[in-house]
Amino acid sequence: MADDSDSDPDPDPDSPPGVPPAEAVDDTPTIACTRCDSEWDLSYELDELHTGNQAVEQFALDHKRHTGHFPDGVETWRAACRHCPERSEHLGERGAFRWAETHARHTRHAVTVHHATDDETTLVEHE
């Protein structure tokens, strides 16, 4: 009589031999920070916070809030007032321009906006 305890039935008969089933593949995104000398998987953001496609952004914002800096590979949009020391940093372009427009409207100061990896700058002024 054959012993079936050692056999491993293929749960997905359509998958090629030697390829693990899709649910066995760990494709949880990770993010690293060389300043903190650490790497994190984003399972908490996905499973507990249910952030979906925004998991990296949520982690980056939380990391900045707790450490004062963004993790590796996170490039930001930056807005800086040309008349006072006010500055703002955003993950999205729209957030940086919204801050610049609001600051210019309330203070009548000109604000420059640019992406961290781009030399091109846009000037936002009160109309």
**How far is it, in rounded angstroms, from Cα 56 to Cα 44?**
11
**What is the residue type of 86?**
E
**How far is it, in rounded angstroms, from Cα 113 to Cα 7?**
62
pLDDT at 127: 80
Q: What angle do CA 34, 36, 41 make, to 5 degrees?
A: 80
- Contact by Cβ (8 Å): 90, 101: no
Residue 3 has pLDDT above 90, yes or no: no
65: left (phi over 0), alpha (psi -120 to 50) or beta: alpha
What tens digit of pLDDT does each residue of 48-104 get?
989 888 888 889 989 999 999 999 999 999 999 999 999 998 999 999 999 999 999
**How far is it, in rounded angstroms, from Cα 51 to Cα 91?**
16
What tens digit of pLDDT does each residue of 8-60 get?
555 555 656 666 565 666 778 899 999 999 999 999 989 998 988 888 888 99
For the chain, the domains span 29-67, 77-124
Give the pLDDT band (50/70/90) at residue 111: very high
pLDDT at 51: 87
The pTM assigned to this predicted structure is 0.64
| Helices of type H across the chain | 43-47, 55-67, 93-107
